[in-house]
């Protein structure tokens, strides 16, 4: 039976990026829909779940994307509510690459060192990527500081993680200047910079000033970098005794994970690939036992 991936994008135009990855993942047919909302998705999901017999439904799957992760989350929730009994298809949610990027970043770090018990700090932790990176660090039993320019926002992000990860050790912090960010980073062994494109949190020379730092991951691919000492191409490059990854250094694993997740949707009709399941795939792809 031919595989069909149905792309539901919350933006008006379905993402070209996600379409290319779907083709590269080997899907036979790709149906792309833009401007999909929880209010308009039910009929489209019925088209996916009522056309093939239960035994063949594993050859149909849904991908949820778009630029707004919160819209993607709401859409994925509605899609799963539409299913019943065996009448379901596998679903992956990766709006704006939020899950695959966070998963690849933390799996890259895990490849270098155990995160259990370390102090980790996430800069730009309130965005879709930063929030998920912080969640995965908490899953790895790191103590995680979530940084925003506004304490209220980092506190809300911490509350979200506490709901998702039992026993999560997270704390909220606020910083607006490079000096404040650098002071907060002291005595953290892991930094993940996940600020908006082009936002520099730590200027050149900062890495060597942060006591105890072992790992720095900067996900910002748009110059200037989020951590000026880390270049976008860095992939496990040691600088001032710190292992560094840049956005493109993480990007290779991210792309592999995205393709493998799409391919795995067709192994059964009941997969739900969101942050944790995508992280499990990233660990596997990176050759790490979870």
Ligand X SMILES: NC(=O)c1ccc[n+]([C@@H]2O[C@H](COP(=O)([O-])OP(=O)(O)OC[C@H]3O[C@@H](n4cnc5c(N)ncnc54)[C@H](OP(=O)(O)O)[C@@H]3O)[C@@H](O)[C@H]2O)c1
Q: How many Å apart are CA 96 and CA 100, to the nearest integer?
A: 9
Task: Give Cα 70 distance to the centre of its chain.
Answer: 13
Query: Which residue's CB is nearer to ligand X, number 188 or number 258?
Result: 258
The minimum distance between CB 98 and ligand X, in angstroms, equals: 6
Strands (E), 40-97: 60-65, 90-93
Query: Which residue's CB is nearer to ligand X, number 14 or number 128?
Result: 128
Query: Which residue's CB is nearer to ligand X, number 72 or number 127?
Result: 127
Please report, in angstroms and rounded to a whole number, the separation of the first and last CA atoms in the chain: 33
DSSP bridge pairs for 246: none
The minimum distance between CB 149 and ligand X, in angstroms, equals: 3
Do residues 169 and 194 touch, judged by C-beta distance below 8 A? no
Q: Is the four-CA dihedral 105, 139, 159, 95 of positive or negative sign?
A: positive
Query: Which residue's CB is nearer to ligand X, number 211 or number 222?
Result: 222
**Residue with structure tokens 């979200």?**
160
The minimum distance between CB 254 and ligand X, in angstroms, equals: 5
**Three-state DSSP state, 2:** coil
Helix (H) or strand (E) holding 153: helix 151-164
The minimum distance between CB 40 and ligand X, in angstroms, equals: 25
Query: Which residue's CB is nearer to ligand X, number 40 or number 67?
Result: 67
The minimum distance between CB 47 and ligand X, in angstroms, equals: 30
Which residues does 172 contact at the CB level (< 8 Å), separation at least 6? 145, 146, 148, 151, 154, 155, 157, 158
Query: Which residue's CB is nearer to ligand X, number 221 or number 277?
Result: 221
**Residue with structure tokens 């000096």?**
179
C-beta nearest to ligand X: residue: 127
Residues that bind ligand X (CB under 6 A): 96-97, 101, 124, 126-130, 148-150, 153, 194-197, 199, 219-222, 247, 250-251, 254
Do residues 231 and 245 touch, judged by C-beta distance below 8 A? no
The minimum distance between CB 102 and ligand X, in angstroms, equals: 9
Query: Which residue's CB is nearer to ligand X, number 87 or number 199?
Result: 199
The minimum distance between CB 95 and ligand X, in angstroms, equals: 9
């Amino acid at each position: 039976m031919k595989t069909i991936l149905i792309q539901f994008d919350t933006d008006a135009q379905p993402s070209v990026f996600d379409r290319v990855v779907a083709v590269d993942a080997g899907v036979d047919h790709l149906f792309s829909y833009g401007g999909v909302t929880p209010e308009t998705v039910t009929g489209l999901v019925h088209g996916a779940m009522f056309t093939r017999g239960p035994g063949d439904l594993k050859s149909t799957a849904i991908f949820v994307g778009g630029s707004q992760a919160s819209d993607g989350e709401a859409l994925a929730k509605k899609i799963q509510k539409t299913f019943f009994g065996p009448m379901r298809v596998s679903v992956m949610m990766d709006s704006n690459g939020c899950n695959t990027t966070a998963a690849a970043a933390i799996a890259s770090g895990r490849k270098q060192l155990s995160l259990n018990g370390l102090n980790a700090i996430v800069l730009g932790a309130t965005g879709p990527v930063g929030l998920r990176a912080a969640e995965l660090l908490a899953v790895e039993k790191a103590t995680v500081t979530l940084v925003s320019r506004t304490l209220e926002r980092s506190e809300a992000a911490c509350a979200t993680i506490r709901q998702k990860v039992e026993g999560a050790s997270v704390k909220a912090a606020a910083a607006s200047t490079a000096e404040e960010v650098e002071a907060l980073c002291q005595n953290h062994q892991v930094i993940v910079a996940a600020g908006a494109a082009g936002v520099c949190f730590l200027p050149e020379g900062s890495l060597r000033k942060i006591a105890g730092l072992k790992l720095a991951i900067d996900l910002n691919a748009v110059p200037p970098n989020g951590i000026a000492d880390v270049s976008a191409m860095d992939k496990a490059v040691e600088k001032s005794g710190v292992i560094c990854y840049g956005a493109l250094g993480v990007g290779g694993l991210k792309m592999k994970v995205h393709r493998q997740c799409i391919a795995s949707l067709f192994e059964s009709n009941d997969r739900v690939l969101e942050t944790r399941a995508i992280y499990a795939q990233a660990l596997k792809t990176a050759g790490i036992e979870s």
